[in-house]
Amino acid sequence: MGIRVGIDLGTTYSAVAYVNEQSGKSCLIPNSYGEVLTPSVLCFKPDGQILFGQDAKNEQEAGDENTASFFKRSMGVELFGLNMHGKRYNATDLSAILLSKLKAEAESGLGERIEEAVITVPAYFGHREREATLEAGKRAGLHVQTIINEPTAAALAYGLNDTAVGNTIMIYDLGGGTFDVTIARIEQDCVTVLGTNGNHALGGKDWDDRIAEYLMDELLERYDVDIYDDWEARSTLRVLAEKVKKQLSQRQKINVPMNFGGVRCSLEFSQEIFKEISASLMLITKDVIDDLMSSIGITWHQIDGVILVGGSTRMTMVRDYVREMSGKEPLAGVHPDEAVALGAAIRANMEQTAVRHSLPAAKTKPVLSLKGAKSIRDVTAHALGTIAVSLEGTSYINSTIVSKNTLVPASGTKTYELVTGKRPREMDVYVLIGEYLRPLDNDIVHRYVISGITPTKSNTTRIAVNYQYDANGVVKVSASQDGRRGDLPVRIEKVPEDMNWTDENPADHFVKDISIMLAIDVSGSMAGAPLDMAKKAVNDFIRNISVTAPQTRIGLIGFAERAKLIAPLSDDYDALMYIVNHIRIGDYGALTNEQPLTSAYNALADCDDAKYIVVLTDGYWFDGADDRGLSAAERCKIGGIEIIALGFGAADENYLQQISSMKDLSSLTDLDNLRSEFSRIAQVIGSTSSKINKIIT
């Protein structure tokens, strides 16, 4: 049987810990250098070999450009990618490689196989970053039991101290690339997180950058050496800046030896200057803390102590700030770089203890007597909401259903008003993670479609939407309609790539119902394969619409020498498909001497739905039908009827464009693509129907 480890996958350094069976204590596993911290750096060699840790960091310092570091900052960012010898790696790929190396090294260090792991992430990580971390773990061949928040792991490690019980503590976690602050209560058997807040884009690297910028400015001012555009010199300077920063954690003042642009010199750098140039960064941490304390209603008086976690808390200014704010020395007894992995290892073995306790002792290995807390109660690091129309009806907003910092498992319900129209309706519930009012400023993680909503006489109904958020960060959505029993059916659909409509005015999207006239060319040239394919395409279209916009009515017109209504507007989709399948060539003459737009206009004119005409033709329209078509198209456009014209065979693309109003969807195609073109049209028409609810409070 293998062991369970905790992995701190850090921005700059990573660490792996396990629980010693004899002592029940969590311990770090040294790497091949005998160090417990391994730099989170990879170096890709031309022969395909991938170096990691200190070896990769050495190559980076020697100027090898094929190195990757700080990729944790880009977890879940789709656009991020690094090219290494012609191959592209995103942050998940890089993390997977690093994790597999850490796993292999820890296994050989311990002489045991790693069975399961708990990986830590900054509390502030959103859904995408968490998913990416889980995926990286899986690809590294790890069975990831769960991911937990870094500060929570640190609190677990601190809970090992006997004096900690009953304390409310703050975990100030400033790493290489992220900042998190968490307030937790340590009890005998349980650590309860009261609240958390953070900034995903702030870390030690920003302090390095401030030093590097300062040194660059000094070089220019004093020695007229300009390295602003010199990539190599700047990267050397950044490495130097980090060293300067670390040295300054021990001393008040240092002399920095510089050798750039042919100039050798020494620049003085002091604690005061450092504090001054990075004052705005410290202020950001202060704002994050103030926000958290006010949101959970806690003051500094109620905090028994502050644990410093993350390498960057070694900076003197951080300790000074914490001392000033809390009026106490930061808590001792937890190592800033080690606490997170140690806590993760405790978490990895919690269930094992629980399970073993419940089994008869004789049948199992000796019970692992884990020191410290045996359970965690964590909070939602972000609010969970959905897209709704604001009360005034003027914009789409993020309507919060579960507030940030709610104890997990968390749940919440909110009621929304929905315009039902005349036919059964569906409602979209987009799950948003984040606190921003504008929907696009949050993570849009799921789209749930609620169906089976019954139309009402008043045209509106109330839908109660319920969110359940479990310890693994999974959101479950359910909904019920006012006055009706039981839950409505819910299905998951892909979140559309283009969500920019949420920035538009909802009034432009309020489509009560949709009416579509399909006008199919049934002239002689359509006989055989063209008509067969047209029937298939139209059937697909009807099926598609019935799913994406079930409040749609469809009618059918056939045209050749005459134009005739084959089926009036109806939402009996099965009957429509039956009629489509029985269309025959010859019933309306052989040539295309008549256009369908006048008949279609007449069929649509009286209804106040959103109106569309979709024309399919395979040739020219003769005997003035083309001119009559143009003027009928004009009337349609004035009457608010959208026209989409598809052609194939001998149809004239120019003419199709002239009669159409939705020109992107109108084109000349071929038989093979007819079905996909029709599906595309169905999707676009379907998506214009607003299924978004109106918020009521």
- Contacting residues toward ligand AMP, per CB under 6 A: 10-13, 175-176, 204-205, 242, 245-246, 249, 310-312, 314-315, 337
Closest distance between ligand AMP and the C-beta of residue 548, in Å? 46
Closest distance between ligand AMP and the C-beta of residue 308, in Å? 10
Residue closer to ligand AMP, measured from CB, 200 or 314: 314
Residue closer to ligand AMP, measured from CB, 314 or 404: 314
Residue closer to ligand AMP, measured from CB, 129 or 337: 337
> Distance between CA atoms of 353 and 99, rounded to whole angstroms?
26
The residues near 284 (Cβ < 8 Å, ≥ 6 apart) are 179, 199, 202
Backbone angles phi, psi at 407, to 5 degrees: -60, 135
Closest distance between ligand AMP and the C-beta of residue 400, in Å? 31
- DSSP E strands in 187-338: the ranges are 190-199, 253-260, 263-270, 305-309
> Distance between CA atoms of 638 and 628, rounded to whole angstroms?
16
Residue closer to ligand AMP, measured from CB, 281 or 419: 281
Closest C-alpha to 609, from 504, 689, 506, 548: 689
> Distance between CA atoms of 92 and 684, rounded to whole angstroms?
33
Closest distance between ligand AMP and the C-beta of residue 333, in Å? 18
Closest distance between ligand AMP and the C-beta of residue 609, in Å? 58
Residue closer to ligand AMP, measured from CB, 285 or 399: 285
The residues near 20 (Cβ < 8 Å, ≥ 6 apart) are 26, 27
Q: Where do we find the tokens 């290494």?
A: 84
Closest distance between ligand AMP and the C-beta of residue 503, in Å? 36
Closest C-alpha to 586, from 652, 524, 667, 521: 524
Closest C-alpha to 67, from 79, 55, 78, 75: 55
Residue closer to ligand AMP, measured from CB, 151 or 555: 151
DSSP 693: P
Q: Report the greatest alpha carbon distance in the chain.
A: 97
Closest distance between ligand AMP and the C-beta of residue 203, in Å? 6
The residues near 554 (Cβ < 8 Å, ≥ 6 apart) are 515, 516, 517, 518, 542, 545, 567, 569, 570, 571, 573, 576
Residue closer to ligand AMP, measured from CB, 248 or 402: 248
Angle at 585 between CA 584 and CA 591, to 5 degrees: 155
Closest C-alpha to 191, from 222, 224, 165: 165
Residue closer to ligand AMP, measured from CB, 177 or 506: 177
> Distance between CA atoms of 330 and 172, rounded to whole angstroms?
10
> Distance between CA atoms of 115 and 1, rounded to whole angstroms?
7
> Distance between CA atoms of 529 and 674, rounded to whole angstroms?
12
Closest distance between ligand AMP and the C-beta of residue 216, in Å? 18
- The H-or-E segment that residue 569 falls in is strand 563-570
Closest C-alpha to 386, from 428, 355, 420: 428
Closest distance between ligand AMP and the C-beta of residue 70, in Å? 9
What residues pair up with 481 in beta bridges, in sequence order? 463
Closest distance between ligand AMP and the C-beta of residue 73, in Å? 10
Q: With helix as H, strand as E and coil as C, how does 177-194 read?
A: CCEEEEEEEECCCEEEEE
The residues near 355 (Cβ < 8 Å, ≥ 6 apart) are none
Question: Torsion-angle region of residue 521: left (phi > 0), alpha (psi -120 to 50) or beta?
Answer: beta
Closest distance between ligand AMP and the C-beta of residue 41, in Å? 12
- DSSP E strands in 41-166: the ranges are 42-44, 50-52, 67-68, 82-84, 87-89, 114-121, 143-149
> Distance between CA atoms of 115 and 100, rounded to whole angstroms?
13
Residue closer to ligand AMP, measured from CB, 249 or 478: 249
Closest distance between ligand AMP and the C-beta of residue 291, in Å? 22
Closest distance between ligand AMP and the C-beta of residue 243, in Å? 9
Class of residue 675 by CB neighbours under 10 A (exposed 0-12, middle 13-18, buried 19+): middle
Closest distance between ligand AMP and the C-beta of residue 305, in Å? 20
Residue closer to ligand AMP, measured from CB, 38 or 667: 38
- Cβ(274)–Cβ(213) below 8 Å: no
Residue closer to ligand AMP, measured from CB, 66 or 312: 312
**Radius of gyration, CA atoms only, the chain:** 32
> Distance between CA atoms of 79 and 81, rounded to whole angstroms?
6
Residue closer to ligand AMP, measured from CB, 180 or 513: 180
DSSP 589: B
Residue closer to ligand AMP, measured from CB, 343 or 439: 343
Residue closer to ligand AMP, measured from CB, 37 or 427: 37
> Distance between CA atoms of 342 and 153, rounded to whole angstroms?
7
Closest distance between ligand AMP and the C-beta of residue 545, in Å? 52
Residue closer to ligand AMP, measured from CB, 312 or 400: 312
SS3 (DSSP) at 281: helix
- Cβ(431)–Cβ(475) below 8 Å: yes
Residue closer to ligand AMP, measured from CB, 247 or 394: 247
Closest distance between ligand AMP and the C-beta of residue 310, in Å? 4
Q: Where do we find the tokens 């250098």?
A: 33
Residue closer to ligand AMP, measured from CB, 101 or 691: 101
The residues near 47 (Cβ < 8 Å, ≥ 6 apart) are none
Closest distance between ligand AMP and the C-beta of residue 172, in Å? 12
Structure tokens at 4: 């369970």
Residue type, 442: N
Residue closer to ligand AMP, measured from CB, 314 or 374: 314
Closest distance between ligand AMP and the C-beta of residue 507, in Å? 48
